Structures are given as structure tokens and as C-alpha cells.
A and B are shown apart, each in its own frame.
Chain A
Amino acid sequence: MAFVKAQKTKAYFKRFQVKFKRRREGKTDYRARIRLINQDKNKYNTPKYRFVVRFTNKDITAQIISASIAGDLVLAAAYSHELPRYGLEVGLTNYAAAYCTGLLLARRVLKTLEMDEEYEGNVEATGEDYSVEPADTRRPFRALLDVGLIKTTTGNRVFGALKGALDGGLDIPHSEKRFAGFGKGDGKHLDAEVHRKYIFGGHVAGYMRTLMEDEPEKYQSHFSEYIKKGVEADGIEEMYKKVHAAIRADPTAKKSEKQPPKEHKRFNLKKLSYEERKAKLIERLNAFNSVADDDDEDDE
């Protein structure tokens, strides 16, 4: 092989400054995080809550988190894999499911803080912009939306979750510009009808109907789970209405019964603790000394 000049010399590594660990993992945007967490100093220890929404391929996580030096504390969390408990079996990562998850989180938080009677939020999801009005006794629960690393385009599911939380009764500063249905049709305003359609899975139902007519095989393969659970395009809106009502009825979290993890066979050596390492060293030294003493005796 021809001589190639080494690109990453020892000097390169000596001068290399690693980014923060979560930046290396590509999970945290520190620029946004600093701005979300920074609390006014004359508010001392008042926590600043952020409404965190994250999507994985099969799940939605919504959490209310406050930051601390030891580590962030989660006040309440809601996952879309809890939605089967409220009657939603399929489509757990779509806009409508995000709405349900946000709604579940909001009702859960308000219930734990005993504010759920005061702040009902928007019981009938109409899709138009709704902001909580402060009640007489307590001010509404305020959180700031933390989207993470997603691109905030209009109609993103993150804003579905945001809408769910708003309708649930949380106070989150927002603008209607990014809700699904903004700017459709004429001008720069939110089309509440379109947004409502998305909240109730209307876009999914529409696609189901189109596929059923045009490409029945693709419909069978794409919506196989829906067919298995018996969900029809016409029944989707009803289903989501029931789920919203069930969520409002009982938003408390249920602890899952987890079995203690069973023992696995170890393939690598277990790391020793500090005491164990010191004990080992003393053993080795004693053995060495005794051998040396024996040798000395032999020599003499």
C-alpha cells in the first residue's frame, strides 16, 4: 500500500476537545436547553417546568420535567403505550395519539397537584386555539414546550401533543402557527376544521378510505393491525372521542408489576470494588514478601 500521511496524529488527539456527552450522542440541544432551564435568579429555587415531547418509532413520551444540578426530576410522565388502557389499540404514534398523550399528561399532572377541578381545559376538542384562563384561587400550571431535536414544521405531531396538553388545562406559551391546518386554504390563520380533523384521526380515516377504493391489497398490508382490531374508517372519530372521555375520567398512572430481573450468565469479569482491589494488592504483597523471605533464607 502506498505511503499515506496519517491524518489523525497523536497531536490531533491531544488537542481534541470532546463535546458534551449528550451532544456526542446527538440527544440534547444545549443551546435550547440553556434557554429553557435558566430561571430568574430573583426567583431562587422556584422550579421551571418543561413539557418534553419525544417520539420514537413506536412510542410517544410526554413528560413534565424540572432541572436540578443532581439531575432532572420528572414530575409526571405519559406514554402512548398506556393508551390501550383507555381504548386506543392502534396508531399509537400518529397526530391523534400525540393529542391523547398530551391530554393524558396534562390531566395526570393536574390531578396530582389537585388542580383538576379548577382547570378542566377544553373538554370539547374543536381544533381552534385555546388558552387556559386563570381561575380565582390558583394560577394555572405553567410549562414550556421542549421539542428536542425535531424540525418544527407546521403540522408536526409534537404540536399535536402540545394541543392535547393545552386542552387538558396546562398553561404553555404557544402560537397557533404550527398546528396542523394553519394556512390551509386562505391566508395566515388556523383552519380549526382541519385541525379538528387531525385531532380525531380524520387524515388517517381519509387515507384508509382512499386505499380501500384504489388499492385494496395495500390497504390490507398497511392497515393490517387496524383490520385485526376491527377499526373502520368511519368509526375512528367515535373511538377517539371515547378515549378522550376515558382519559378525563381516570388519568392516574398505574404501576406496572415488574418481576425482579433474573440472573444472567456473566461473559466478562466483574469489576472489583475499591476495597476488593486493596485487599488483592495486600495479598499479592504478602505473597511476594513471603517468597522473598524464603529466597533470602535459601541464599543464606
Chain B
Amino acid sequence: MPAGHGVRSRTRDLFARPFRKKGYIALTTYLRTFKVGDYVDVKVNGAIHKGMPHKFYHGRTGRVWNVTKRAIGVEINKQVGNRIIRKRIHVRVEHVQPSRCTEEFRQRKLKNDQLKAEAKAKGEVISTKRQPKGPKPGFMVEGATLETVTPIPYDVVNDLKGGY
């Protein structure tokens, strides 16, 4: 029999629930709210059969463009041939998690705003740009003893003692 290419083909392990996490899903997934413009990760929950995205989108991150009663519209990039298309899919909330990709950025924004406000109060000028890690500074080597290693002249007798 030929291999099928149905929508859920080759998803035996991908959509399987993890070890000892089968059964009812925790209520937090239903209590989360999503707003248009949020970043979300698509992660399929095999226990909920409705509103499942295609297996391609499992593990992708996209932005929310629509919010309906039980599902969310997510805009995800997909490479088709020689171009990347922005695909819009609708996914039930059980298959979606809020993404942490912008978390670091948002925290940095808050911290920078705070630093800038403090600097403005003090009257100094600061740069909040991130700098790449530079080369390591030079240092003096401490506590090093010198051990001179010289080759010893070849001694036939010693070498052949073992195996001759």
C-alpha cells in the first residue's frame, strides 16, 4: 500500500501527548487572553482534535491578527519556493502558547526607560545601546613555575627491555 499524504500524516510522535501528561489539559490554557499583535507559539495539543493547525505550523511563532470566540488567528511566515508568504491560520487556543520571544526586549525597554529617566533627573547623558562582548582584557600570569623539558637521548637497551 502506498504511503498516504493526508493532513495528519507522519504526526504519530509529533502530536502525541508527552509522557504522563495525558488526559485533561490544565485550565490555564483556557484562562489566558490574547490581544491582536501579541506573539504566540503554535504547539499542537493532540488531545484536542478541533482547530488543529497543519503539522507544518507546529513550533512556529507568529503574531495574532484575529480573535474569535474559541480560536485565534495567527500570521506565520512560510517559505514557498523562492519567497516567504505570510500565512494566516486560525487555531484553537489549546494549540497556542504566549511566546517569550519579546520578553527580553520588553524588559530591556522598561529598564532603559527607567535609566533614562534617572539620567534626565541627574542631567547626565547616557547611552543605553547594547554593546557586543569585546575581547578579553590582558592579564599577567600569576604563580607560574618554569619547567624546561628537553628530549633525552635514545637509549636502545631501555626501550627493548620490555618486548624483545
Contacts and interface: CB of A to CB of B under 8 A. Distances in A.
* A and B associate: yes
A19 B71 CA distance: 27
Contacts of A38: 30, 70
Nearest to B30: A38
A37 interface: yes
B23 interface: yes
B44 interface: no
Contacts of B70: 38, 40-41
Interface string A1-36: 000000000000001110110010000001101100
Interface string A161-200: 0000000000000000000000000000000000000000
Contacts of B31: 37, 39, 67-69
B20 A33 contact: no
Nearest to B92: A41
Contact of B33 (A20, A23, A30, A41): A41
Given A15-B20, A17-B20, A69 B28 contact: yes
Given A15-B20, A17-B22, A30-B24, A45 B30 contact: no
**Interface bin, chain A:** 20 to 34
Contacts, number: 48
A149 to B, nearest CB: 15
Chain A binding surface, main DSSP class = loop
B27 A37 contact: yes
Contacts of A68: 31
A52 to B, nearest CB: 15
Interface in B22-78: 22-24, 26-28, 30-35, 67-72
B68 A42 contact: yes
A37 B70 CA distance: 12
Contacts of A16: 20
Contacts of A274: none
A44 interface: yes
A118 B69 CA distance: 31
B21 interface: yes
Contacts of A15: 20
B145 to A, nearest CB: 24
Contact of A69 (B20, B22, B32): B32
A41 B34 contact: yes
A44 B34 CA distance: 7
B20 A67 contact: no
A38 B32 CA distance: 10
B23 A17 contact: yes
